[in-house]
């Protein structure tokens, strides 16, 4: 019997100090989102393999933790085809389970439905700093709201939340999938190539203009199209209206995005900029997309967008949808880097008993301790150990007031 005491690769145990910060942040988030009328929902960690496989691209599918069938179904599986061994997997994100859950419960939910969800997702990526195989995600979604009220309210909610964690300067990048599409049309790139083009453009921050250019060439795009496309993408980014003037696009799309920008500007102290190179990875977005950065940290804390076509895949009923996802693990990392301190408002008391304390005296202390706890104090009773000095030291570091008269 070999027991292994480290956690499985890429996953983590959380010690009390780490949990304290995570819980604190989640509580601030819950309170904030609640005030915006969002309701907490829950979905299982395990999802049908059909739902996971259909929604991820080929590369992403490799990252799914797949669960073996059990009992007879496993015995009857075809060993020559590994896919028959599996009936489910760990969820990869919270959007797919939300869409599934909403499609299944629509008639019992408010319309529009303001939902938020907090839970772990799983990705079998090569572990590296800040990238985990079990990662907490916090999603905010409005289902059934086709106007930009959804985008506006969600962006304001997220900024309000982050402000409560002492972040000060916010930069929000915004774009629209339909503008990305219009840019492709404008550059006379065949529509069928849009996915490849966006995958390259999405790497702009990492590989620069030259890198994108190289990739587009490798994808067989005409040089004139590449030039036209990249020249457009490099234009002065913040002036949305001017940028869209020569694009084949409906003015209502531009107007819609303008309205989002104006409303966010009026309600929260944030720099909101139009960025035609913003892509956001997931293919399911259909309208505005956005990302939020704070206090000059180089990468985004969260992002999201409109995905009006996903619910219909589960229910055959079209339901407009818009979501915003917080990168919780990154957020925690940022807070830990700045040594963010949580106030512990409760008084902490530790009764340190001698080894020889009698049963009667112990009973007395237990009784006193319980009275204190009823006054909402944190109270523990500890028997003195051999290493008494170290014991006292750690208690003091933990802000316990030590009482040792027994």
Contact 172, 300 (CB under 8 A): no
Candidate list 65, 186, 297, 340; residue touching a copy of itself; CB under 8 A: 65
Cβ neighbours for 199, distance < 8 A, ≥ 6 positions apart:
279
DSSP string, 205-238: HHHHHHHHHHHHHHTT--HHHHHHHHHHHTS-SS
Closest CA to 165 of 352, 277, 331, 375: 331
Shortest Cβ distance from residue 215 to a copy of itself (Å)? 25
Residue 293 to residue 303: CA distance in whole angstroms: 9
Using CB atoms within 10 A of its CB, is residue 296 exposed (0-12), middle (13-18) or buried (19+)?
exposed
Query: Any contact of residue 16 with a copy of itself (CB under 8 A)?
Result: yes
Stretch that binds a copy of itself, among 44-52, 177-185, 220-228, 296-304 (CB under 8 A): 44-52
- Which residues have CB under 8 Å from 78's CB, separation 6+? 84
Residues 6+ apart with CB under 8 A from 345: none
Minimum distance of a copy of itself from residue 117's CB (angstroms)? 9
For residues 22 and 333, give the distance between their C-alpha atoms in angstroms, rounded to a whole number.
10
Handedness of CA 195, 116, 288, 298 (dihedral sign): negative
Q: In a 3-state reduction of DSSP, which class is residue 90?
A: strand
Q: Does 109 bind a copy of itself (CB under 8 A)?
A: yes
Among 296, 359, 389, 405, binds a copy of itself (CB under 8 A): 359
Any contact of residue 114 with a copy of itself (CB under 8 A)?
yes
Q: How far is the CB of 354 from a copy of itself (least distance, A)?
A: 12
Minimum CB distance to a copy of itself, residue 123 (Å): 11
Binding to a copy of itself (CB under 8 A) within 326-355 occurs at 346, 348, 350, 353
Q: Residue 12: which residues within 8 A CB-CB, separation 6 or more?
A: 132, 134
Whole-angstrom distance, CA of residue 40 vs CA of residue 139: 10
> Which member of 160, 214, 219, 227 binds a copy of itself (CB under 8 A)?
160
Site size with a copy of itself, rule: CB under 8 A:
110
Q: Which is nearer to a copy of itself, 153 or 176 (CB)?
A: 153
- 370 forms part of the interface with a copy of itself (CB under 8 A): yes
Separation CA 325–CA 95 (nearest Å):
9
Choices 165-173, 242-250, 310-318, 323-331 (CB under 8 A): range interacting with a copy of itself: 310-318
Binding string to a copy of itself for residues 203 to 222, with x set by CB under 8 A, is what?
A: --------------------
Query: 281 and 200 in contact (C-beta within 8 Å)?
Result: no
Binder among 131, 209, 241, 373 for a copy of itself (CB under 8 A) = 373
Which three-class secondary structure state does DSSP give residue 373?
Answer: helix
194 binds a copy of itself (CB under 8 A): no
> In angstroms, what is the minimal distance from the CB of 254 to a copy of itself?
14
Those residues whose C-beta lies under 8 Å from the C-beta of residue 320, and which sit 6 or more positions away, are 143, 144, 145, 146, 150, 306, 308
Name the residue nearer to a copy of itself (CB basis): 68 or 333: 68
- Only one of the segments 222-230, 231-239, 324-332, 378-386 lies at the binding site for a copy of itself (rule: CB under 8 A); that segment is 378-386
What is the nearest approach in angstroms of a copy of itself to the Cβ of residue 124? 5
Tokens (6 digits) for 133: 């195989």
Please give the Cα distance from 116 to 328 (Å, whole number): 14
Q: Does 200 bind a copy of itself (CB under 8 A)?
A: no
Using the rule CB under 8 A, which residue among 130, 131, 147, 248 binds a copy of itself? Answer: 147
Which C-beta is closer to a copy of itself: that of 104 or that of 246? 104
Q: Please, which of residues 232-291 interact with a copy of itself by CB under 8 A?
A: 259, 262-263, 266-267
Determine the Cα–Cα distance for residues 88 and 288; give it in Å rounded to an integer: 32
Q: Given the rule CB under 8 A, which of 245-253, 319-327, 329-337, 383-391 is the region that contacts a copy of itself?
A: 383-391
- Which of 134, 185, 202, 329 binds a copy of itself (CB under 8 A)? It is 134
Question: 25, 29, 41, 261: which one contacts a copy of itself (CB under 8 A)?
Answer: 41
Does 24 interact with a copy of itself (rule: CB under 8 A)? no
- Residue 156 or 247 with smaller CB distance to a copy of itself: 156
Q: How far is CA 393 from CA 159, 319, 404, in A?
A: 40, 59, 14
């Amino acid at each position: 019997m070999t027991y292994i005491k480290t956690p499985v690769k890429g996953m983590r145990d959380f010690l009390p100090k780490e949990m304290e910060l995570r819980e604190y942040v989640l509580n601030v988030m819950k309170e904030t989102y609640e005030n915006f009328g969002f309701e907490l929902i829950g979905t299982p960690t395990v999802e049908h393999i059909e739902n996971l496989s259909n929604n991820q691209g080929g590369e992403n599918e490799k990252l799914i933790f797949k669960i073996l069938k059990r009992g007879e179904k496993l015995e009857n599986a075809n060993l020559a085809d590994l896919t028959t061994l599996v009936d489910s997997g760990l969820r990869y994100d919270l959007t797919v389970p939300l869409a599934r859950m909403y499609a299944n419960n629509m008639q019992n939910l408010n319309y529009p439905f303001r939902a938020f969800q907090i839970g772990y997702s799983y990705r079998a990526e090569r572990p590296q700093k800040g990238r985990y195989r079990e990662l907490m995600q916090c999603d905010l979604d409005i289902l059934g709201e086709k106007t930009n009220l959804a985008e506006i309210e969600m962006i304001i909610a997220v900024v309000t939340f982050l402000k409560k964690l002492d972040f000060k300067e916010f930069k929000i990048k915004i774009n629209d999938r339909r503008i990305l599409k219009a840019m492709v049309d404008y550059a006379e790139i065949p529509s069928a190539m849009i996915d490849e083009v966006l995958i390259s453009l999405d790497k702009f921050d990492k590989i620069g203009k030259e890198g994108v250019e190289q990739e587009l060439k490798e994808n067989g795009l005409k040089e004139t199209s590449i030039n036209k496309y990249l020249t457009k993408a490099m234009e002065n980014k913040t002036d949305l209206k001017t940028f869209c003037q020569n694009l084949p696009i409906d003015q209502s799309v531009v107007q819609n995005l303008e309205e989002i920008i104006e409303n966010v500007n009026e309600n929260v102290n944030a720099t909101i900029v139009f960025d035609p190179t913003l892509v956001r990875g997931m293919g399911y977005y259909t309208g505005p997309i956005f990302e939020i950065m704070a206090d000059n940290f180089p990468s985004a804390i969260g992002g999201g967008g409109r995905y009006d076509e996903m619910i219909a895949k589960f229910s055959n009923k079209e339901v407009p949808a818009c979501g915003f996802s917080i990168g919780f693990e990154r957020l925690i990392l940022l807070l830990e880097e700045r040594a963010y301190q949580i106030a512990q408002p409760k008084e902490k008391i530790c009764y340190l008993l001698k080894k020889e304390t009698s049963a009667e005296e112990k009973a007395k202390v237990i009784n006193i301790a319980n009275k204190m706890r009823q006054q909402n104090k944190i109270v523990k009773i500890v028997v003195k150990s051999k290493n008494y000095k170290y014991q006292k030291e750690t208690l003091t570091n933990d802000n316990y007031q030590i009482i040792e008269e027994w």
